[in-house]
Amino acid sequence: MKITVGIVDYGIGNQSSVQHVLGSVGFRCRISDDPGVLDGCDLLVLPGVGAFRPAMEALRARALDRYLGDWAANGRPLMGICLGMQLLANVSYENGVEPGLSLIPGEVRSMGTGRWHIGWNTIECATDDPLFAPSDGQTFFFNHSYVYDGPPEFEVARAQVGGPVASAIRRGAIVGMQFHPEKSQTAGRALLQRLVTGLCGA
Amino acid sequence: MITVKDGWAVQSFGYRRYLPLGRPECLAENLDRWGIDEIIVLSIDRTRRHAGPDFALVRRLGGLGLLTPVAYGGGIRSASDAGKVIEAGAERVCLDALLRRDRGEVSAVAALVGSQAVIGVLPLSAQAGRLFWHDYLSRADDELSAGDLSPFTDGIVSEALIIDRIHEGGPHPFDESLVDGFPTGVPLIAFGGLHDPEQIGRVFAHERVVACAVGNPFSYREHAVQHLRRALPASEIRDPQFRMD
């Protein structure tokens, strides 16, 4: 049976790119902020572009913060992309202090004033996670200035930007990617296909 | 680089004459298939016409399912505009007139979409060792000052797209003094007159240059992207990932 991916629509970021790439590898997609629709999905994707605080405010305004917490507590698979990965953490220090979804322990910190990670970079797998291992050494598109800083046990891949930064994190069925797999051409498409299939236990 | 005027992709000759190339979506699809690193779409007439961003174009590009990041510029007047451009399907926004006219709003754009998603567009020329910033609304050329660059040096805008406006679309190559003479500390995307692989390799090697943008040459030669990649030093670029479908 076809896997259905729910793309969480909270008004931040571009959902259509994720929808297109997931559709191109055979998954059915639903873009919605309606728990009734999202409940019927096998996996949720939390996309995101921009700043942490307005994103959390948008999630709270739709009560999606609690919904995602319940979703994760039930062991259902969730995938955060770029800002969506950062939202999985406990707190961010972007423009003040803002609590996150607290689904993967860690904090989100600035890379430093005037420091960004923009463009294509190689990821290095930090563990033997079978979902990420085939992507070791492949290049992905990054576009961020804040980074996840958490216990090493949750880091499954890193990228070198002067020093190592977390490029992918995982806690059970919850996965975050700092890069944009949906904009990373064949490498990104292959990783998304593997992640969705693997996390859904198909 | 896809230059758009009146909704059509055009070949530009120094932003004075234009030759239509077709629908921007068709060019974007080709660049995506050829494994280009990023597609920059500049709608050059939106600000002059007070038309705002071409949201319909960005939505059409977003609807193509491109696997390559897209940066859009043209007509962005506010943080709200920039946010809608991102929602419509672009990963980054390019600001041009706003950089000159409303620094406060530039900061608001960065606060909303993140500085890393904001590119500042600087059409430049070099004369007697000095850099001049062209205002295409007033057509004046003002010497580039440290104050002009504060959005870049203060970390509000992440990269400067410097356009060699004299040599863009012309037979003469990119003026490398634009890069050599640019104040330090600002990552640069070089554009305008870049078509010779040897020169692109040289510009790439400049520590401030993070990208070279190529426009017209990709529209007139078969496999131009692949030829250019092969001619560049492998250390300067990533391995291409061509789409096979």
Residue boundaries of the structural domains of chain B: 2-236
What's domain B2-236's architecture? Alpha-Beta Barrel (3.20)
For residue B241, the model assigns a pLDDT of 54
User: In this structure, what CATH number is given to the domain that contains residue A47?
Assistant: 3.40.50.880
| Tokens (6 digits) for B7 | 């909704």
CB A154 within 8 A of CB A106: yes
CB within 8 Å of B139: residues ≥ 6 apart: none
| Angle separating helix axes B55-62 and B24-33, nearest 10 degrees | 30
Task: Tell me, yes or no, if A144 is annotated catalytic.
Answer: no
Give the mean pLDDT of A48-71.
95
pLDDT in tens, A87-115: 999 999 998 999 999 999 999 999 986 68
Q: Is B116–A120 a contact, with Cβ atoms under 8 angstroms apart? A: no
Residues of chain A above pLDDT 70, percent? 99
Domain count along chain A: 1
Q: Using DSSP bridges, classify how beta strands A139-144 and A117-122 pair: parallel, antiparallel or unpaired.
A: antiparallel
Whose tokens are 């904090």? That residue is A107
Dihedral sign from CA coordinates of A9, A120, A95, B76: negative
CB within 8 Å of A7: residues ≥ 6 apart: A15, A18, A19, A22, A29, A30, A31, A32, A44, A45, A47
CA distance B69 to chain A (A): 5
Residue A23 sits at the chain B interface (C-beta within 8 Å): yes
pLDDT in tens, A27-50: 999 999 999 999 999 999 999 888
Single pTM value for the model: 0.93
Q: What is the dihedral of CA B128, B160, B110, B137, to 10 degrees?
A: 60
CB A28 within 8 A of CB A51: no
Task: Tell me, yes or no, if A82 is annotated catalytic.
Answer: yes
Is the pLDDT reported for residue B78 higher than 90? Answer: yes
Domain of residue A174 covers: 4-199
- Reduced to 3 states, what is the DSSP secondary structure of residue B108? helix
Q: Is B158–A116 a contact, with Cβ atoms under 8 angstroms apart? A: yes
For residue A151, the model assigns a pLDDT of 98
CA distance B80 to chain A (A): 12
A13, A141, A186 member nearest B86 (Cβ) = A13
H-helix or E-strand containing A142? Answer: strand A139-144
> What residues 79-108 of chain A have any CB closer than 8 A to a CB of chain B?
95
Whose tokens are 């006219």? That residue is B101
Question: Which residue among A29, A41, A82, A125 is the active-site one?
Answer: A82
The predicted complex's ipTM stands at 0.90
Closest by Cα among A80, A173, A189, A65 to A134: A189
DSSP secondary structure letters along A144-184: ESEEEE--GGGEEEEEEESEEEEEEEEETTEEEESSBGGGS
pLDDT in tens, B104-152: 999 999 988 989 999 999 999 999 989 999 998 888 999 999 999 999 9
Q: Is B243–A185 a contact, with Cβ atoms under 8 angstroms apart? A: yes
